[in-house]
A and B are shown apart, each in its own frame.
Chain A
Amino acid sequence: MHLNRVKNKKISLDDLRVNFSEIEPALTQKEAMDEANRCLYCYDAPCIQACPTGINIPSFIKKIASGNLKGSAKVIMEANPVGASCARVCPTEELCEGACVLNDASLPIMIGNLQRHATNWAIENNAQLFEAGQVNGKKVAIIGGGPAGLSSARELARLGYEVTIFEAKEKAGGLDTFGIVSFRLPQEISLWEVQQVENLGVTIHTNTKVGRDIQVEEIINNYDAVILAIGMSKVPMLGIEGEDAEGVYDAIEFVENTKTPPLDHQFVGKRIAVIGAGNTAIDAATCSVRLGAADVKMVYRRTEAEMTAYEFEYEFAKQDGVEFRWLTQPTKIIKDESGKVKALECVNMELGEPDESGRRRPVQVPNSTFTMEVDAVIKAIGQTRYTSLIEEFGLEHNWGVVKIDTETHQTSNPKVYAAGDVIFGDGQGDAMVVTAAQQGKLTAHAIHQKFIAENQVAIESR
């Protein structure tokens, strides 16, 4: 995101929908051409190496410059089946744009925006960029239609597999469809990516929760391979008094509610505290501002230095007028007589010795209790795991992080593969959309390699 390109920063209290339209404008035709022509077309370009999906960035930019937008979109989507979403949500400063050689000479190329320009062309022109492969008779089930699931489905379909996705929600796309704030990623972008995958003949069973609507055993028995791409679950409990009050929200659900109309008007003029300081916490805070809240505070027990949100997200929240309360630990949610949130009781913290993550452990300052009056509390302190489903599959895991062979993406059950946030954590991977997409792709290729090898053995032993 390029904050200097964000034009309309005014929040409308009359029409909240305006606040949720994409904040960074698309590049104009001239901006795109000027920017594309600025690309040096490096050899062995560091931006490609910095992209988790390895998009051939100089190639797609050159194609924009030459007017070959279809070819450009294809280069992007070939490497990254959710490349239109990633154009908007990737922390490009940390990835491709951070690696651009022009950082050392002038300004880096706006790679994310050019990627958005090219994929917008494909969306607007209804271009089908890929075709299904020749049917090979193998069936793969994918649990979860988020970035990892879609990515593996797209690759498998191109290789001729019969692919079925089981998606618990009413639409596929996962966090891209429901979890990323609309003003960064409009839902229709993610749904276009879903459509691209469906157009290859992939079947998506929505509103289908595995373990409830279809049994694990049935899936294992009916498919040649299974990919577990279920992501992560709700925000955990804070474990403090008053957490059951009306007006306490899970950040993921809070953001999700803004993704489907109508927008909730109950927060107009209200005071909201967001607990946590990661990227999801920022999303909850900036969504609160856009829902018309008058006062939004982020409450974090450590300091600015330890916060996990990206620098540009932090900047963005500051520009939105979000207040940051560092070294503040909530201890109690105070309810009014009707059971609604009234205030947040907190204590001040100070930093002590480093913990196992290397971050200095916050320690309570004695006798520092104070309260802040708020109308709602949003929890954004991480996500829990779908541990019970993982256990139903009988897979080895560490606290809900499914263990895999990093080469093959195979779990402890060789027929079951895993990709995306379900394998994130415990020192494994990154929780980025682009990482999930790459893992999905690699998983699909691993499955294909396995079947090719088996086929080879079968032919040779005939």
Chain B
Amino acid sequence: MADLRVNFAGIKAPNPFWLASAPPTNSGYQVQRAFEAGWGGAVWKTLGDPILNVSSRFAGTSYNGQRVAGFNNIELITDRPLEVNLKEIYETKKKYPHHAVIASLMVEPNQAAWHDIVKRVQDVGVDGFELNFGCPHGMAERGMGAASGQVPELVEKQTYWAKEVAEVPVIVKLTPNITDITATAYAAVQGGADAISMINTINSLAGVDLDSWNTIPNVAGKGAHGGYCGPAVKPIALNMVAECARNPEINVPISGMGGVSTWQDAVEFMLMGAGSIQVCTAAMHHGFSIVEDMVDGLNNYLDEKGIANLDGIVGKSVEKYSDWGNLDLNYKVVARINNDTCINCNKCHIACEDASHQCIDMLKDTSGEPILRVREEDCVGCNLCSIVCPVDGAIDMVEIPNGEPMTWNERQAAIKAPVCNS
């Protein structure tokens, strides 16, 4: 049994899987059910001045029959009175003293407002705060959420105000709706954040109904952009986590989220620097019980690798993430088709023929059976064939020796270096 406990910027939890601030953490009832199901922590649905919500709030995107490949919402922060939430936070923490209960907060960019809410929430006993500078819809129109999270000065200032009175760790949750997330991450660090978390949702319109021509979702025939999350956003989130993790000036722990659905996704985020993992869409799609396999799968993975605890994986791939200019131009892989495993769907052939470098031939073997073969001298190692191949193990991308390593940056430096004519 690997040790899955985390101490994330001082916030302790039995495991790294936390529910993100969202509909599943709306109430004490839900959070307590989640803890019973095995979640290690929960970030309570954002507290602030209670708002009014609209009816018809969510939309899923399907891909080839797969439901909830992506998920879009226009729900705002909590619509319950602060006193009710505080009472339930108090009760939950009392019942589950070893689980992480973190309060997500959002108020207008005003020092007094931040001081007031931090103090009131802290009084009921939370393990930490998460400042919501990320929600892209609704609240942003009122100058909160993503609207303040897109302005580094506002991120820094509000973090500072929260930190002035906070006695527990403060995590700053960042919006991905910005050109360079390291700019706001850096601002959070400058403001004194104990940790950062990302990503919040991405501005989105889930779809348009082909018959009514209404937006999806629509509220009485009108729509407004929502926030996008779910499996489809994982690569975007993973990059943002990795970019922050490899930036030496952003030297605080990162809570990673965005499309995490399985323990495998979680390991990827951890390898790229996430010290804890937040999940929402997967729980909304399948219920709280999905955490069981996340915990079990992570544990088995660590055991299989002979790794005792999460320190053995967190951040271990960060040094492998760099700039394009540092990639070896002489590295070469080529596709090799294993005709014993290949089922002859010819998808690799047509993908290569129409969309890549025309190097996979459809041939017959000596007994007249169809086979596919790569002309390796023409293969650029793009991976497309192995990506479209429906059968694991039918196409290997094989490394072949190809001279001394040379990156673009090294090459440019070599060209600029004075030539010695002797």
Binding site for B on A (CB under 8 A): 33-34, 37, 40-46, 65, 101-102, 104-105
Contact = CB atoms under 8 A, between A and B. Distances in A.
Contact of A105 (B346, B350, B390): B390
Nearest to A66: B64
A105 B350 CA distance: 20
B288 to A, nearest CB: 26
B345 A40 contact: yes
Contacts of A102: 343
A42 B347 contact: yes
B362 A40 contact: no
Given A43-B346, A43-B349, A104-B343, 5 more contacts: A34-B65, A42-B346, A42-B347, A46-B344, A65-B65
15 contacts: A33-B65, A37-B64, A41-B347, A42-B344, A43-B345, A43-B350, A44-B346, A44-B349, A46-B344, A65-B64, A65-B65, A101-B343, A102-B343, A105-B390, A105-B391
Among all A-B residue pairs, the 9 with the closest Cβ atoms: A43-B350, A37-B65, A43-B346, A42-B345, A101-B343, A104-B343, A37-B64, A101-B345, A40-B345
Contact of A40 (B65, B349, B390): B390
Interface string B325-355: 0000000000000000001111101100000
Interface of B: 64-65, 343-347, 349-350, 362, 390-391
B104 to A, nearest CB: 37
| Dominant secondary structure at the B interface | loop
A291 B134 CA distance: 71
Nearest to B390: A40
A70 to B, nearest CB: 15
A104 B393 CA distance: 13
Question: Which of A37, A41, A105 has the most chain B CB atoms inside 10 A of its CB?
Answer: A105
Given A40-B390, A44-B362, A101 B344 contact: yes
Contacts of B391: 105
A367 B207 CA distance: 80
A418 B70 CA distance: 57
Question: Which of A37, A41, A43 has the most chain B CB atoms inside 10 A of its CB?
Answer: A43
B211 to A, nearest CB: 12
A65 B65 CA distance: 8
Contacts of B64: 37, 65
Nearest to A46: B344
A50 to B, nearest CB: 13
A104 B362 CA distance: 18
Nearest to B350: A43
B344 A40 contact: no
A34 B66 CA distance: 9
A107 to B, nearest CB: 12
Nearest to B351: A43
A68 to B, nearest CB: 12
Contacts of B390: 40, 105
A43 B370 CA distance: 13
B403 to A, nearest CB: 35
Given A33-B65, A37-B65, A65-B64, A43 B343 contact: no
A46 B362 CA distance: 13
Contacts of A40: 345, 347, 390
Question: Which of B345, B347, B350, B390 has the most chain A CB atoms inside 10 A of its CB?
Answer: B345
A105 B343 contact: yes
A37 B65 CA distance: 7
A101 B344 CA distance: 7
B260 to A, nearest CB: 24
Contacts of A33: 65
A101 to B, nearest CB: 4
Contacts of A46: 344
Contacts of A104: 343
A104 B344 CA distance: 9
A143 to B, nearest CB: 41
A101 B372 CA distance: 14
A43 B65 contact: no
A388 B343 CA distance: 51
A42 B343 CA distance: 10
Contacts of B346: 42-45
A113 B349 CA distance: 29
